Every structure is written in C-alpha cells, then in structure tokens.
Amino acid sequence: MKKLTLIVLAIFYSITGFGQHTFVQNIKGMARITFPDTPKIVKAPPDTVYTLNNNGLYYTARIFKIKINTHYRFMKHIADTVYNNLEKVYVKGANGTIIYKNKTLVDGWNGFEFAYKKQTLPGSNQYIYYQSLYLNDSLFVCSVWSNDSLRKDDKNLKAFFTTFKVTLSDDDVRQDNTSDIARNLGMFIGKMIGYGLVVIIIGLLGLGVVFIIRKIVYK
C-alpha cells in the first residue's frame, strides 16, 4: 500500500511539474497554440497579440489580416510573396542580421520560418525565431525571443512551434490564389454578362420608344 501511494504521488508531482501550467490559446477561431504558461493579451488594433515571459524566453503569437491588392490577386504563389515580405520587414526594421530562413510545414501546411539577431547593447545580441503560416488572407506569426543563441531543434522552440494547429477544416483553407482567380474571374464574367443584359434591355426599350414615337408622328 505504501509503495502504491509513493507511485501515485510521483505521477502527481510529475504532472504538476511538467504540464500543469501549459495554456492552449485559441487564435481567432482559426488556429490554436500551446504556451508554457498563461499568456498576456495585448490589444494592438486591429490585431490581438498574445505574449508570455517564461524562464528567460519571450513568446508571442498573433494574426495579421493581409490586404491583397488587385496586382497580387493574380499571383498564383502569393504565400511566398507574403513570407518574403514578412522576413524583409522584420529583419530590416530591426536592423538585424538573418541567421536562417526556410520553407517549412506548419501543421501540414506550407509555412515559413526564419531567425535573425539584432544588437541591443554594444557586444550584446538578442535572437528572434519566427514561424509563420499564411492562409485565408491571414498571416499567423509565432515567435520566441532569447538573449542566447538557440539551435533550430532547441526543445523550447519545438515545444512551442509544434503545438500550432489549424482548427479550420481542410476544405476551408486557402493558401494561394488559384481558387481565388477562378472565383474572381467567374464573378467578373457574371458581372459583364449582367451589365450586357442591362445594356441590351435598355437598348431595346429605347428602340421601342423610338418606334412608338415614329408611329405617332407619322400616323
């Protein structure tokens, strides 16, 4: 009995030590990610940012709504453009030095990862690791900030990034513009047909009016 009690207590303390404080954060009903503890919610209209300081690391997760202009609407691989722009804006904005950047699978979808370092004080650097996923005109960006350089397979990075899950059904996910182009083209053709019919009807009505006037005048 005493041995059984010790086993139960050991299991309890193991769960307490390793899993009690993890927090699954829902992101706009489209995805979720697990933080090592309860994140702080920061309002940055129109976005919401989830942040956490934990054991010397700073975690963030956020979603951006991407405004796509007409030019980009007809680019098939728009996700690549979004990822490249994200990397350039973040690294250039921080006057940072890129460490690596790669295409990667995020929950089975085509995503992007990159890391860079920036100088905070003379002789002191900060290292920022990003994972991003573009879908449905939205960009999910998760990051881990550290004062020390981390390996790509660092347990803290993996423990955070690998918990990102898309909660939409596969049929509702769009990453590139192939289906958008077809839909937009269909809408354009439909509008043109509609406008054409209106013009034809107005033309016929005009001819009818002219015919009636001529009949009256020359009766």
Q: What are the pLDDT digits (tens) for 179-201?
A: 444 445 434 444 555 555 555 66
Q: How far apart are CA 126 and CA 111, in angstroms?
A: 24
Q: How far apart are CA 180 and CA 186, in angstroms?
A: 10
Mean pLDDT of the region 195-213: 59
The answer to whether 117 and 90 are in contact (CB under 8 A) is: no
Q: Which two tokens stand for residue 57?
A: 């690391």
pLDDT tens profile 43-63: 877 788 999 999 999 999 999
The topology under which CATH files domain 22-176 is Protein Transport Mog1p; Chain A (3.40.1000)
For the cut 60, the answer to whether the pLDDT of residue 93 exceeds it is yes
CA–CA distances in Å: residue 97 to residues 60, 77, 142: 20, 26, 19
What is the percent of the chain with per-residue pLDDT over 90, rounded to a whole number? 58
pTM of the model: 0.72
CB contact burial 168-197 (16+ within 10 A = b; e otherwise): eeeeeebbbbeebeeeeeeeeeeeeeeeee
Helix, strand, or coil (residue 26): strand
Residue for token digits 């050991």? 10
Q: Give me the amino acid identity at 102.
A: N
Mean pLDDT of the region 78-96: 93
CA–CA distances in Å: residue 208 to residues 23, 214, 216: 72, 10, 12
The answer to whether 146 and 138 are in contact (CB under 8 A) is: no
More confident call, 42 vs 9: 42
CA angle 178, 62, 129 (to 5 degrees): 95
Domain borders along the chain are 22-176, 177-219
